[in-house]
Amino acid sequence: MTQTASQPAPAPQSAGATAVTGRAANASVVPSSSGFTENVPRLLNRIQTIGIVACVLFGALAATVQLLGWQANGRAAENTEQVVRAQEIQSLLLRADAVATNAFLVGGLEPPAARAEYDETIEKALRLVADAAEAQPADRQVLADLNATISDYTTSVAQARDNNRQQFPIGIAYLNDAGTLLRAEALPMIQAVVDANSERAVDEMDAQHPWWLIVLTLLTLAVLIWLNQQVSRRFRRRVNAGLAIAALIVAILGVATAIHAGVRNDRNDALRDGAYRDAVDAATARTAANDAKALESQGLINRGSGATYEAKWDEQAAAVDDSGVLGDLWQQYVAAHQQVRDLDDAGDWEKAVELATSTADEAPTAVLNRFDTAAAERAANAGAEASDGFGSGDGISLALIVVTILGALAAAGAVTRGIDVRRKEYF
């Protein structure tokens, strides 16, 4: 049996010891199907409690979803910075190796400028390792191992340099050992840090959940509508004002927070495919380019082994090509490198070395330096843009979280008030 507002039900029957007042004559209570009459005050209490809990739960969960999204974006920014930092370490170490190897190729004493650049590059790399360890506790163990390996690497380079200075050929063995240590042990460690933080960053970028907020809003609205139905069945009003206001607040909050989360989600996708990808690609290209230059020198140092090292050079060149970063500058280096190889392959090793170690503007070293500088700048700028992008809009996010909580409390208050009015009507 149902009750409509146009056709009020008979006056309420007494239920147990409940007194029936004159005002209650305006309300109605539907007997249960079992024939028992309802305890209306208790029913109103239950409706009120369910309404308050629904609003508060909505507020808590919606705020939590937003909070998690806000935290995730913050971590996406931090993880992006860590990826850029780790790739910078990788590039710096290969840069140092390229400088040390090329300096070794110059007969006699190492040029002071090359030595200074090597020292400065290693120092930068070590400082970044310390920064990275501080930034992400989960990377600390690998970075501690990396620190020890860099120490072994620099020791080997120092031993190579000391032997070379005394004109002992065993210096080459130390230099080769250093290069092997760098590539076989240090680089996999840095790659592990890059991979782990890339995965973390991408996971966090996907942590905006507009659909969760929509579902949460719809569920809360369904509860409030159901409660309104329960009330309207028993009283003349089709709509309970308090429940209606609560539903309106929830709907507005739901739409606003879902739109905000959706916008952030889209922006995250755009950053991931834009600035973040640019930063990673530029750093990858820079790393591969420096590795290629070191391999060019290794091929000449190990005289006659150009073909062996050229195969490895090709792999690094393919990595730069695939990245599509600074194609024109890279092609200039490729052309300069090809001249070195052509000379060496034609048996003119001395000329090949002369060109590979020349500081002339169009020689491979100078061209690669220009590529390195441009790629480093691009990686740093794109990384900063991505990191800033993930971190932007924090004020709105936090304000929305606060508004959600306050709005949910206001909705709960409206439910309380709306049911109180019915209660007063009943009594």
Partner 1 sequence: MRLKTGLATFAALVLLAGCGGYDETTTPKPEEPAAPSAAPPPDCTNDASALRSYAPTGDVGSGKSVQEIKKSGKLVAGVAGDTYLLGSRNPDDNQLEGFDIDLAEAIGQKIFGEPGHVEYRVITAADRIPFLQDGTVDIVARNMTVNCSRWEQVAFSTVYYDAGQKILVGSGSGIETPADLAGKKICASAGTTTVDNIRTLVPDAEIVTAPDNSRCMVKFQNGEADAFTSDDTVLAGFAAQDPYAEVLKTERLSQEPYGIGVRKDRVDLVRLINQVLEYMRADGRWKASYDEWFKDQLKVPGVQPPPVYGR
Instruction: Decide: is 196 part of the binding site for partner 1 (CB under 8 A).
Output: yes
User: DSSP of 111-140, one letter per residue?
Assistant: PHHHHHHHHHHHHHHHHHHHHHHHH-GGGH
Instruction: Decide: is 112 part of the binding site for partner 1 (CB under 8 A).
Output: no
Instruction: Decide: is 174 part of the binding site for partner 1 (CB under 8 A).
Output: yes
Shortest distance, position 150 Cβ to partner 1, whole Å: 14
Instruction: Decide: is 350 part of the binding site for partner 1 (CB under 8 A).
Output: yes
Q: Which of 127/303 has CB closer to partner 1?
A: 303
DSSP state letter for 74? H
What one-letter code names the amino acid at 392? S
User: DSSP of 226-295, one letter per residue?
Assistant: HHHHHHHHHSS-SS-HHHHHHHHHHHHHHHHHHHHHHHHHHHHHHHIIIIIHHHHHHHHHHHHHHHHHHH
SS3 category, 107: coil
Shortest distance, position 179 Cβ to partner 1, whole Å: 13
Residue of 114, 126, 189, 246 that binds partner 1 (CB under 8 A): 189
The piece of 10-18, 279-287, 297-305, 312-320 that touches partner 1 (CB under 8 A) is 297-305
Contacts of the segment 128-135: beta carbons below 8 A, 24+ positions apart: 128/85, 128/88, 128/89, 128/92, 129/89, 131/85, 132/82, 132/85, 132/86, 132/89, 132/193, 135/78, 135/81, 135/82, 135/85
Instruction: Decide: is 131 part of the binding site for partner 1 (CB under 8 A).
Output: no
Q: Residue 65: which of 400, 375, 381, 427 has the closest Cα?
A: 400
Instruction: Decide: is 301 part of the binding site for partner 1 (CB under 8 A).
Output: yes
Q: Mask 49-88, x = binds partner 1 (CB under 8 A)?
A: ----x--x---x---x--xx--xx--x-------------
Q: Mask 303-342, x = binds partner 1 (CB under 8 A)?
A: xxx-------------------------------------
The rounded distance, in Å, linking the Cα atoms of 2 and 154 is 87
Shortest distance, position 2 Cβ to partner 1, whole Å: 32
Instruction: Decide: is 173 part of the binding site for partner 1 (CB under 8 A).
Output: yes
Residue of 26, 39, 230, 302 that binds partner 1 (CB under 8 A): 302
Helix, strand, coil percentages (3-state) for the chain, rounded to 5, are: 80, 0, 20
Instruction: Decide: is 22 part of the binding site for partner 1 (CB under 8 A).
Output: no
Q: Which of 123/195 has CB closer to partner 1?
A: 195
Query: How many chain residues are in contact with partner 1, going by CB under 8 A?
Result: 51
Residue of 26, 38, 111, 145 that binds partner 1 (CB under 8 A): 145
Residue 37 · residue 29 · CB < 8 Å: yes
H/E segment holding residue 296:
helix 277-301
Q: Residue 211 to residues 215, 252, 398, 405, 411: CA-CA distances in angstroms? A: 6, 15, 19, 19, 21
H/E segment holding residue 322:
helix 306-323
The rounded distance, in Å, linking the Cα atoms of 334 and 312 is 14
Q: Which of 68/251 has CB closer to partner 1?
A: 68
The piece of 21-29, 32-40, 111-119, 193-201 that touches partner 1 (CB under 8 A) is 193-201
Instruction: Decide: is 219 part of the binding site for partner 1 (CB under 8 A).
Output: no
H/E segment holding residue 330:
helix 327-345
Q: Provide the token pair at 21.
A: 């007042």
Q: Which of 132/227 has CB closer to partner 1?
A: 132
Residue of 15, 192, 244, 251 that binds partner 1 (CB under 8 A): 192
What residues make contact with partner 1 under the rule CB under 8 A? 53, 56, 60, 64, 67-68, 71-72, 75, 105, 107-108, 136, 138-139, 141-142, 145, 159, 163-164, 166-174, 176-177, 184-185, 188-189, 192-193, 196-197, 200, 204, 301-305, 347, 349-350, 353
